[in-house]
């Protein structure tokens, strides 16, 4: 379906009418693209690639641009993605709308951004900018989760830390890669190799590129922050291990004199008068208790515990 872009999307009956002063927008299903794509000059390779979108990219071809988008979408506790393909010719934007979900969003944008007065370049800029309009708040949410993990670590709440941090780092890597791909798209649009844009309006794509680059930088900063939190976690684990080793060392030291006493009197030499002394057994018990108490006092003064 073709639309003339104005304050609203105006459906057009003809396949490719003269758009006049207004840019044209086409939302096509895969079947429509396979049927009409060759007539619009789109290469068969690009039409086939629309069925297997793996990343966000754009490439300049003869007289048009072909691009794909793999848009991250947060669904409860998991990330999904929405795949999208598009073609840009002079004055015409073709979007593969397989599920028919983008039309409402574009209609809302047309009203919100007043596309009645917008140029073709402004329309494309608004669509691209809409992809990342809420991403700063998404990154802030991820930062809050990392900060909470750090607080839990400092409070010795280390349960399930590795799984949570690994999940966070995976999300950040996913978003960082996505933003880097958007930066590449923005830079390619600025090059205007297919000559589909007015040179004086290319600065719009520079603005989009800079915004995507800032988001990419923020995502990278959060990845580095997560590594610092991992180091804090490792330090806390080491501290806990040192505490355990200190306790074991104290216990071992406490019982070493007792082991010596037991070994000494366990030899049962006949020349040991204590063995025949009626108070020998109680005396050894008292000696053992005295040794333990003396060791505890010594360790306490040395602040071993």
Q: Structure tokens of 179?
A: 């933003």
Torsion of CA 179, 180, 185, 186, to 10 degrees: 80
What is the per-residue pLDDT for 178? 95
- Residue 16: pLDDT over 90: no
Out of 109, 131, 153, a domain closes at 131
Out of 131, 163, 191, a domain closes at 131
- Residue 22: pLDDT over 80: no
Give me the domain span that covers residue 295. Answer: 240-301
Over range 102-128, report the average pLDDT.
85
What is the per-residue pLDDT for 147? 95
Over range 36-47, report the average pLDDT.
92
Q: 38 in a domain, yes or no?
A: yes
Torsion of CA 284, 287, 289, 293, to 10 degrees: -170
What is the per-residue pLDDT for 11? 78
Q: 150 in a domain, yes or no?
A: no
- Kindly write down the DSSP assignment for every residue of 213-266, as one continuous string: HHHHHHHHHHHHHHHHHHHHHHHHHHHHHHHHHHHHHHHHHHHHHHHHHHHHHT
Higher pLDDT pick, 17 / 48: 48
Q: 64 in a domain, yes or no?
A: yes
Q: 188 in a domain, yes or no?
A: no
- Residue 248: pLDDT over 90: no
Q: What is the CATH number of the domain that holds 261?
A: 1.20.58.340
Over range 113-119, report the average pLDDT.
80
User: Which pTM value belongs to this model?
Assistant: 0.79
Residue holding tokens 């976690």? 233
Over range 204-220, report the average pLDDT.
96
Question: Domain tally for the chain?
Answer: 2
Identify how many contiguous H helices and E strands the chain contains and give both numbers. 8, 7
Average pLDDT score over the chain:
86
Q: 202 in a domain, yes or no?
A: no
Out of 110, 131, 152, a domain closes at 131
Over range 198-211, report the average pLDDT.
95
Q: Which of 291, 210, 213, 207 is nearest to 253 (CA)?
A: 291
Report CA 111 to chain centroid distance, whole Å.
Answer: 33
- Residue 20: pLDDT over 60: no
What is the per-residue pLDDT for 24? 86
Q: 94 in a domain, yes or no?
A: yes
pLDDT band at 13 (very low <50, low <70, confident <90, very high): low
Q: 156 in a domain, yes or no?
A: no
Gap between the Cα atoms of 193 and 175, Å rounded: 28
- Residue 179: pLDDT over 60: yes
Q: What is the CATH number of the domain that holds 107?
A: 3.30.460.20
Q: 190 in a domain, yes or no?
A: no
Helix axes 102-112, 120-131, angle to 10 degrees: 120
Sheet with 2-5: strands ordered across: 9-12, 2-5, 24-28, 92-96, 78-89, 64-75, 57-61
């Amino acid at each position: 379906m073709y639309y003339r872009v104005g304050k609203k999307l105006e459906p057009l009956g003809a396949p490719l009418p003269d758009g006049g002063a207004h840019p044209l927008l086409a939302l096509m299903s895969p079947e429509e693209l396979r049927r009409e794509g060759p007539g619009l000059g789109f290469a068969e390779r690009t039409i086939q690639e629309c069925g297997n979108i793996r990343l966000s990219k754009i490439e300049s071809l003869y007289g048009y641009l072909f691009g794909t988008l793999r848009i991250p979408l947060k669904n409860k506790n998991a990330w999904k993605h929405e795949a999208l393909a598009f073609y840009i010719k002079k004055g015409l934007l073709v979007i593969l709308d397989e599920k028919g979900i983008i039309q409402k969003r574009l209609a809302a944008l047309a009203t919100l951004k007043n596309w009645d007065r917008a140029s073709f370049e402004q329309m494309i800029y608004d669509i691209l900018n809409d992809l990342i309009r809420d991403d700063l708040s998404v990154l802030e949410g991820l930062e809050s989760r990392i900060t909470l993990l750090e607080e839990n670590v400092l409070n010795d709440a280390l349960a399930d830390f590795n799984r949570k941090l690994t999940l966070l780092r995976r999300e950040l890597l996913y978003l960082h890669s996505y933003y880097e791909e958007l930066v590449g798209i923005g830079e390619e649009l600025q090059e205007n190799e297919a000559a589909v844009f007015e040179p004086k309006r290319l600065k719009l794509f520079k603005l989009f590129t800079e915004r995507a680059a800032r988001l990419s930088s923020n995502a990278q900063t959060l990845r580095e922050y997560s590594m610092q939190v991992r180091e804090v976690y490792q330090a806390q684990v080491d501290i806990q291990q040192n505490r355990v080793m200190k306790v074991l060392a104290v216990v071992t030291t406490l019982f070493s004199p007792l082991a010596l006493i037991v070994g000494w009197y366990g030899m049962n030499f006949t020349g040991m008068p204590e063995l025949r002394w009626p108070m020998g057994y109680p005396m050894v018990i008292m000696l053992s208790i005295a040794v333990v108490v003396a060791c505890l006092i010594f360790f306490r003064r040395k602040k071993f515990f």
